[in-house]
């Protein structure tokens, strides 16, 4: 029984990048032997175990065979006679098909180190075409490693997969998962560019402007600007949705991809308010309070601030105005109008307008 570190850990170590997780392949073992050694089983489709001390994943070497369209149609075979090379050949890219033995020796049957030096994403074999998720993975890798390019033969294979409808078999949850992970990388524009280059972007996000058009190029630049730590996933997705024509288009994307509510809500609000936010520097107090009310900013000021980040508008004036308006004692106003409760919202609204008017006067 021999174990090897495989995949991303080997790739990132060779690139000099931080290694977050170590995945291992075990050759020459049975599930019974793994259990006897104290490993805990977690795999559903094939034997994967957690190390009793490190909790890192150890998978038995396996082969796979395509049995149906999409990415669920696979049969896996794991047995002691499956070799490391047989396990590595089923992997997506040459740079992910390397293994490191316990003595530090690198096993590289598909010239992954050479492609690392050339900064190339190259598929290992034509089996790549059996799993459409690999198109999304390459696009996500491009967002993480923007200096890499897709090998021409790999891009041609990806385009053929799109033409043959393999991308149509992707379930919304997996598309969203990979899109979200790509948006959180340092250069998310590369993800969209790679998807566009193989034709997948038009299938997955037809509402977006094409990257080679002026609006599309502007959107790519905006997405890459939104990569500072305060731009959480909701903000980055809202920036992406700024490229759409209107709220209905945003809602359609969110429904199709089953986007989480917090991401959907911020994106919808950002696109809905973009016309108003373009005038943020000159909005009168009445319009500012109405904007706050419409966006539920008094109850959710953090979300409002994130909308301003996503919109890339003049935020300082609005945030200062929000502080002034939130300082109004709504409880005291309600108490004064206890006998005429219907008058409370109007009274609170008016005092907030007056507070912002005073703030604007003092700052001008």
Query: Is 148 part of any domain?
Result: yes
Same domain? 92 vs 214: no
Same domain? 137 vs 164: yes
Same domain? 79 vs 30: yes
Number of domains in the chain: 3
Q: Which range marks the domain in which residue 201 is found?
A: 132-272
Query: Is 144 part of any domain?
Result: yes
Query: Is 210 part of any domain?
Result: yes
CB 124 within 8 A of CB 89: yes
96-132 pLDDT tens trace = 999 999 999 999 999 999 999 999 999 999 989 989 9
- What own/partner pairs with CB < 8 Å and gap ≥ 24 does 105-112 have? 106/10, 106/14, 107/4, 109/85, 112/11
At residue 295's C-alpha, the angle toward residues 289 and 299, to 5°, is: 90
- Of 89-93, 211-215, 220-224, 335-339, the one with minimum mean pLDDT is 335-339
Return d(Cα 316, Cα 322) in angstroms, integer.
Answer: 10
295-348 pLDDT tens trace = 999 999 999 999 999 999 888 999 999 999 999 988 888 888 877 777 888 899
Return d(Cα 227, Cα 141) in angstroms, integer.
Answer: 16
Which CATH number goes with the domain that contains 265?
A: 1.10.3090.10
At residue 70, does pLDDT exceed 80? no
Query: Is 160 part of any domain?
Result: yes
Same domain? 250 vs 300: no
Same domain? 288 vs 264: no
- Domain termination site, one of 272, 298, 323: 272
Same domain? 221 vs 193: yes
This prediction has a pTM of: 0.88
């Amino acid at each position: 029984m021999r174990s090897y570190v495989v995949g991303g850990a080997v790739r990132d170590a060779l690139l000099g990048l931080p290694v977050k997780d170590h995945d291992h392949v075990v050759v020459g073992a049975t599930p019974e032997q793994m259990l006897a050694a104290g490993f805990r089983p977690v795999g559903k489709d094939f034997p994967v175990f957690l190390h009793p001390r490190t909790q890192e994943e150890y998978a038995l070497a396996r082969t796979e065979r395509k049995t149906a369209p999409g990415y669920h149609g696979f049969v896996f075979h794991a047995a002691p006679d499956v070799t490391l090379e047989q396990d590595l050949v089923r992997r997506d890219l040459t740079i992910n098909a390397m293994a490191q033995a316990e003595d530090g020796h690198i096993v590289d049957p598909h010239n992954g180190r050479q492609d690392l030096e050339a900064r190339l994403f190259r598929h290992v074999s034509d089996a790549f075409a059996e799993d459409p998720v690999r198109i999304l993975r390459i696009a996500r890798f491009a967002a993480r490693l923007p200096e890499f390019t897709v090998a021409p033969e790999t891009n041609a294979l990806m385009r053929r997969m799109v033409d043959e409808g393999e991308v149509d078999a992707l379930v919304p949850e997996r598309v969203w998962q990979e899109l979200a992970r790509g948006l959180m990388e340092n250069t998310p524009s590369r993800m969209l560019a790679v998807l566009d280059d193989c034709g997948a972007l038009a299938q997955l996000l037809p509402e977006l402007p094409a990257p080679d058009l002026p609006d599309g190029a502007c959107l790519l630049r905006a997405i890459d600007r939104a990569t500072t730590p305060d731009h959480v996933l909701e903000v980055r997705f809202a920036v992406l949705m700024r490229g759409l024509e209107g709220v209905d288009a945003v809602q359609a994307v969110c429904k199709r991809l089953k986007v989480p509510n917090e991401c959907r809500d911020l994106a919808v609000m950002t696109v809905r308010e973009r016309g108003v936010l373009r005038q943020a520097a000159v909005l009168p107090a009445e319009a500012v309070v109405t904007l706050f009310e419409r966006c539920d900013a008094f109850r959710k000021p953090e979300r409002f601030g994130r909308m301003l980040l996503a919109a890339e508008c003049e935020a300082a004036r609005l945030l200062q105005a929000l502080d002034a308006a939130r300082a109004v004692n709504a409880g005291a106003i309600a108490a004064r109008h206890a006998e005429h409760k219907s008058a409370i919202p109007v009274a609170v609204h008016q005092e907030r307008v007056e507070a912002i008017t005073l703030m604007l006067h003092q700052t001008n």
